[in-house]
Amino acid sequence: MKKRSLKVFVDFDGTITLEDVGEAIFRKFGSAEKTDRIVDDLLSDKISSRQCWDELCDSIDKINKQELNDFIDSLEIDPTFIPFVRFCNDKEIELVVLSDGFDHYIDRIFSKADLTDLKYYSNKLYVDINGKLSAEYPHYDADSPTSANCKKNHIITHSSDDDYTIYIGDGNSDKEAAQYCDFIFAKKGLLKFCSTERISFYPFKNFDDVQNKLIELINKKNLRKRHQAELKRKSAYTAE
């Protein structure tokens, strides 16, 4: 039997980073109370992720770009992520970052961590000369409201039926995408969602946990794909 290729898809905010960078920005430079209300509307499915980001951008009258960059530079990634990236490179495992956040802070954070070679997909954030924030959504799909950057579509594009797909995430924007993968690493909101929906997952605290489990999977003679994920992927291929 042909050995399956592993494809790893990983969320950014709160998974690679120690906190949700997008939310932290709006809490610091806008109103924490207003930010919480808008995010609560997203989590209760009253608004889509795209609406959430647009409302959050509108909630800040003016932002100083240098102060924004200084704040982004003060935020940290999970220290176990860099060794995990090296592990994936050594094992020739493709790693793709899928973020419902923004390129502006991902670029800065990856540059600081010397991770500029990592492939990622995200939304775009702009600060105009008047300090007004605006967002663009190049990967938006109206059929996937929980993520303005349709993670499901990236997973389908970057993998084939022969691949064994792995998802690593923690929150609302991961709920749909994770269901298209064969093995799910979950914490926080994604863990609760998978538990409620009876979707099989592996709980993790950091990327050491993920790496140790991946070593187990790599050493298995026959990786069995998750049946529900196969059905969802087939349905998506048929719809294209």
Q: Is residue 48 predicted with pLDDT exceeding 90?
A: yes
The CATH number of 6-239, from 3.40.50.1000, 3.30.300.210, 1.10.10.10, 3.40.50.410, is: 3.40.50.1000
Is the per-residue pLDDT at 233 higher than 80? yes
Of the candidate ranges 23-27, 122-126, 151-155, 229-233, the one whose mean pLDDT is the lowest = 229-233
Q: What percentage of the chain carries pLDDT values higher than 90? A: 90
Task: Report d(CA 184, CA 204) in Å as an integer.
Answer: 10
Find tokens 């093995």 and name the residue.
Answer: 183
Q: CA 183, CA 203: separation in Å to the nearest integer?
A: 11
Distance separating alpha carbons of residues 13 and 18, to the nearest angstrom = 8
Q: Indicate whether 237 pLDDT > 80.
A: no
Sheet with 183-186: list strands edge to edge: 133-136, 119-127, 94-102, 6-10, 164-169, 183-186, 202-203
Assign 234 a pLDDT band (cuts: 50, 70, 90).
Answer: confident
Task: Please write the tens of the pLDDT for every residue from 70-127.
Answer: 999 999 999 999 999 999 999 999 999 999 999 999 999 999 999 999 999 999 999 9
Q: Which helix (H) or strand (E) holds 84?
A: helix 81-90
pLDDT, mean of residues 169-189: 97
Half-sphere exposure of 25 (CA within 13 A, CB side): 28
Nearest alpha-carbon partner for 23 in 57, 51, 46, 64: 57
Residues 5 and 88: their CA atoms lie apart, in Å, by 12
Residues 6 or more apart in contact with residue 160 via CB below 8 angstroms: none
* The pLDDT of residue 1 is above 70: no
Euclidean distance between the first and the last CA atom of the chain, given in angstroms as a whole number: 29
User: Which tens digit of pLDDT belongs to each residue from 53-83?
Assistant: 999 999 999 999 999 999 999 999 999 999 9
- Spans of all domains in the chain: 6-239
- Whether pLDDT at 16 is above 80: yes
Residue given tokens 């109370």 in the structure block:
33
The full length of the chain comes to 240
Cβ pair 207, 81 in contact under 8 A: yes
Question: pLDDT digits over 139-173, tens only?
Answer: 999 999 999 999 999 999 999 888 999 999 999 99
Q: Is the pLDDT of residue 238 over 80?
A: no
**Portion of the chain with pLDDT greater than 70, in percent:** 98
Contact between residue 137 and residue 114 where contact means Cβ atoms under 8 Å apart: no
On average, the pLDDT of the chain sits at 95
* 109 contacts: CB under 8 Å, gap ≥ 6: 17, 21, 72, 75, 77
Mean pLDDT over 11-40 rounds to 97
Query: What pTM value is reported for the model?
Result: 0.95
